[in-house]
Amino acid sequence: MKLSALQYCVGLCLSALVWQVSAATHPPSMFDVLIGWTANPVALALIIGGLLAVMAGGIVWFVSRQSGRQQSNDHHEAHHFYLEAFQANPGFEFVFSSDASLISMSNGLTSALAKSHKALFAYNLHELLEPESWARLAAWLESPKDGQVVKLTLVSTQSERVTGLFELQSSEHRNLHLARYLHLSPHLGQADTDSELLAVTLSSIGDGVICCDVNSHVIFMNPVAEAVLALLTEEVKGQPISEVMPLYHEGNNRPIEDQMAVCMRNQQTVSLPDSTCFRNHLGLEFAIDDSCSPVYNNSGKVIGAVMIFQDVTESRALKRKMNHLAHHDALTGLPNRLLLQDRLIQACKRALRNRHQFAVVFMDLNKFKKINDSLGHDFGDLLLKQIAQRLTDAIRACDTVSRMGGDEFVLLLDAIEDKRHVGSVIKKVLDRVCGQYEIKGVEVQATLSAGVALYPDDGDNAEVLMKHADSAMYRAKKSGKGGLQFYCSQLDDEAEQNQALEQAILDAISQDQFVPYFQPVINAVDGHIVQLEMLARWHKEGALVEASRFISEIDDVGALMTLQVKLWGQALRHFAQWQSRYPKLRLSINLAVKTLQQEEALQVLKSCLASYELQPQYIEIEITEKQLSVLGAELNSVVDVWREAGFTLAIDDFDAAHTSIGQLHAFNIDVLKLDPGLLDGLAGGETTSVVSSILTLASNLDIVCCAEGVETAEQARLLARMGCPLLQGYYLGEPLNAQDLDTYLTHHIEL
């Protein structure tokens, strides 16, 4: 069916009339703007409708009578007319292609940018837009979405620019896009002001955003803010921000002043306090962080405020956890050295200001290594946790108990009366903490040694007080009785002497002042030398110092293993030479129990033997009876390791005071060396009976006995008659250095 030109004209006129009625009730769509925006849209619509009708009629006429070329010319004329109508628009609008080429621009925008259409068409939008604006537009071009609002700033020179919110539309049939400047209905003032406020809101879409008017009433919330508050903008619009989002300080719930009002009153951006929190209407608590800023109109008047915030609940919780770990012991939860140092500094300031005393108590768990090694580190950790709990329960809330590490604890007793009061308090603490502990079904006895330093008598700063309390604790621990020791100046002198001794020991080791001496062990039947015992000696300032006078200090310095390795090397070198002449000769070496427990010590000694082509079965390891008792249940396993390596083992200084007959049988020991104290009064009935009983017991268990400390011929004769196979002592031979012993062996040994 064909339509006449008149029918086209009437139809288009009716369309224009419908458009006018629709425009009165509905805002024009963005592509409607292409028809034009003038002061009289009805007249323009009729004119355009008439023209369209004439053009349409002409098109029908030409279609039936002219070629496709003529039709293309008519379409070009229509396009040119529409283009002129669009450019006549006084608003801010422009059309662009997908490659960001500028197709057309309204006169209002060219005027604002002070450039002609021709001049502006020479630019690509990448050149007209500020970098941030271009980034937003480029992101939209990658995935065009009709109706999306983007904040853009167009610049032609340094002074001419247009900034605002542009609604973007895309044509489905043509590779063209329209950007239309938004004019919102005024709520707070001018339309430009609303656009700027909305621009700030939408530009922070990743964070929570809340906008308020000058009265701090909510007018807008973005989706992030709605999600956190669990409320929609429509539900809270017009309500005070202090009711919608009441802020308070974390921890004490103290309210925080309305920050929107603060920033508008001060006319500057304000940051939220570090501990800011709020609780939404569902009862969920959030920690937030960021700022509030005032919003101005073009005349510089404050017309509202915007809050931009981040949910930092998880990060703040992690920060609290990390801060707690940095200042507290991971095992017990007690304050660590760092936090204690800070509290000591504060205690010194308070004591100086209030003129009172306080005490620093350094505490150490006695024989913790034995517990840890014999029962395991997990067991030791559980014991430390229980001790920490008892210490915490035994002090006041104003006092501090801290774990320094290992088995060391420190008490800070604030505002004490006098020294006697401190003593009674600490004794009560020790009574409560020391005693039986049940861990994993095992009962253990735990005791502590304590050293006390008083402010200001023993020091006026944290460092000195800690040092003096530590010195007092060391004195209490060294006494072997534990308990309590107050600091006194004498401890400083002892500490200096100990420090000097430690340095002297280290220097002596490096200078090879420690050398091995050898004492003969005699066969009681024929008097022949069958064995040598290696003894450590220190050539100190021209004097020869026995091991009993320095071995504990070397252990305290931590140089025991270093010294032993050096002595082993020297002794085994000489012993290899002697054994090459006397193949049955044996050598005994004294070991501390902690050395016996070390796998490293066993491997080092085996390596030394191998280097001199010596066999372990000719080496006897001696451990004192008292030290063996320290091993407890671990003894058999430790002894078995050395026996399996080929060494024979002897109990030194045996007097049956620490070992029962049943234990002696279970230990599977090769040799018993009788304590020299058993030989005193050997001619008397009681002592003789004890020695005789031990010799009989050893014989029944197939254990060899050696009597140490034989000082007289009478002792040697009686022991031999009682059946003691081996004798050792100054009567039979003094300890000699390697050179003197070499001469001695030449005249006395017959193996």
User: Where is mean pLDDT largest: 34-43, 56-65, 300-309, 382-391?
Assistant: 382-391
Q: What is the pLDDT of residue 493?
A: 64
Residue 227 lies in a domain: yes
3 state SS of 41: helix
- Evaluate whether 151 touches 203 at the Cβ level (below 8 Å): yes
Q: What is the pLDDT of residue 527?
A: 87
Q: Max alpha carbon distance in the chain (Å)? A: 155
Asked whether residue 201 carries a pLDDT value surpassing 60, the answer given is no
How many structural domains are present in the chain? 4
Beta bridge pairs of residue 421: none
* Domain boundary, last residue among 88, 118, 141: 88
Q: Domain with 731 in it: what CATH number?
A: 3.20.20.450
Q: What is the pLDDT of residue 667?
A: 73
Q: What is the pLDDT of residue 48?
A: 47
Residues 6+ apart with CB under 8 A from 732: 520, 522, 710, 716
Asked whether residue 610 carries a pLDDT value surpassing 90, the answer given is yes
* pLDDT digit string, tens, across residues 377-392: 888 899 999 999 999 9
Residue 698 lies in a domain: yes
Residues 333, 302, single domain; the answer is no
CA distance 31 to 744: 121
The closest alpha carbon to 302, from 400, 232, 216, 224, belongs to 216
Number of Cβ within 10 Å of residue 551's Cβ equals 16
Number of Cβ within 10 Å of residue 451's Cβ equals 26
Confidence of residue 12 (pLDDT cuts 50, 70, 90): very low
Residue 246 lies in a domain: yes
Asked whether residue 585 carries a pLDDT value surpassing 90, the answer given is yes
Output 531 or 11, whichever has higher pLDDT. 531
Confidence of residue 508 (pLDDT cuts 50, 70, 90): confident
Residues 335, 276, single domain; the answer is no
Task: Give the C-alpha distances (Å, rounded to integers) separating 590 from 239, 282, 429, 620.
Answer: 87, 75, 40, 9
3 state SS of 586: strand
* pLDDT digit string, tens, across residues 567-579: 999 999 999 999 9
CA distance 563 to 510: 9
Q: What is the pLDDT of residue 57?
A: 46
The DSSP code sequence of 466-535 is HHHHHHHHHHHHHTSS-EEEE--HHHHHHHHHHHHHHHHHHHHHHTT-EEEEEEEEEETTT--EEEEEEE
* Domain boundary, last residue among 88, 119, 148: 88
Q: Domain with 440 in it: what CATH number?
A: 3.30.70.270
Residue 621 lies in a domain: yes
Asked whether residue 479 carries a pLDDT value surpassing 90, the answer given is no
Q: What is the pLDDT of residue 550?
A: 82
Q: What is the pLDDT of residue 81?
A: 64
Q: What is the pLDDT of residue 496?
A: 64
Residues 290, 197, single domain; the answer is yes
Asked whether residue 545 carries a pLDDT value surpassing 70, the answer given is yes
Residues 233, 251, single domain; the answer is yes
Residues 473, 541, single domain; the answer is no
Asked whether residue 31 carries a pLDDT value surpassing 50, the answer given is no
Six-digit token pair at 32? 């409607």
Q: What is the pLDDT of residue 46?
A: 40
* pLDDT digit string, tens, across residues 15-30: 333 333 333 333 443 3
CA distance 365 to 449: 7
Residues 721, 580, single domain; the answer is yes
Q: What is the pLDDT of residue 196?
A: 55
* 51-58 CB contacts, 8 Å cutoff, 24+ apart: 51/81, 52/8, 52/12, 52/78, 53/5, 53/8, 53/9, 53/10, 53/11, 53/12, 53/13, 54/5, 54/9, 56/5, 56/8, 56/9, 56/12, 57/4, 57/5, 57/6, 57/8, 57/9, 58/5
Six-digit token pair at 515? 């050398």
CA distance 179 to 94: 5
* pLDDT digit string, tens, across residues 224-278: 888 889 998 889 999 999 999 999 988 788 899 898 999 999 888 898 888 899 9
The DSSP code sequence of 49-65 is HHHHHHHHHHHHHHHHH
One-letter amino acid at 270 equals V
Residues 583, 716, single domain; the answer is yes
Residue 362 lies in a domain: yes
* pLDDT digit string, tens, across residues 699-714: 888 899 999 999 998 8
CA distance 188 to 219: 10
Residues 651, 697, single domain; the answer is yes
Q: How many helices (H) and strands (E) does the chain have?
A: 29, 28
Residue 433 lies in a domain: yes
In whole numbers, what is the pLDDT of the chain averaged over residues?
80
Residue 498 lies in a domain: no
Which secondary-structure segment (H or E) carries 363?
A: strand 357-365
Residue 142 lies in a domain: no
Locate tokens 């028809």: which residue?
35
CA distance 222 to 204: 9
Asked whether residue 185 carries a pLDDT value surpassing 50, the answer given is no
CA 394 to mean position of chain CA atoms: 30
The closest alpha carbon to 45, from 14, 24, 83, 74, belongs to 14
Q: What is the pLDDT of residue 574?
A: 94
One-letter amino acid at 451 equals G
User: Where is mean pLDDT largest: 633-637, 680-684, 693-697?
Assistant: 693-697
Between the two ends of the chain, the Cα-to-Cα distance in Å is: 141
CA distance 548 to 316: 59
Residues 6+ apart with CB under 8 A from 633: 374
CA 328 to mean position of chain CA atoms: 11
Residues 271, 381, single domain; the answer is no
Residues 234, 347, single domain; the answer is no
Residues 6+ apart with CB under 8 A from 270: 259, 262, 263, 291, 292
- Evaluate whether 693 touches 674 at the Cβ level (below 8 Å): no
* Domain boundary, last residue among 318, 340, 368: 318
One-letter amino acid at 227 equals A
CA distance 473 to 471: 5
Q: Which domain holds residue 334?
A: 328-487
Q: Domain with 293 in it: what CATH number?
A: 3.30.450.20
Residues 360, 481, single domain; the answer is yes
Residues 334, 392, single domain; the answer is yes
Asked whether residue 14 carries a pLDDT value surpassing 50, the answer given is no
Of 51-55, 78-82, 278-282, 435-439, the one with minimum mean pLDDT is 51-55
Strands (DSSP E) found in 541-625: 543-546, 586-590, 619-624
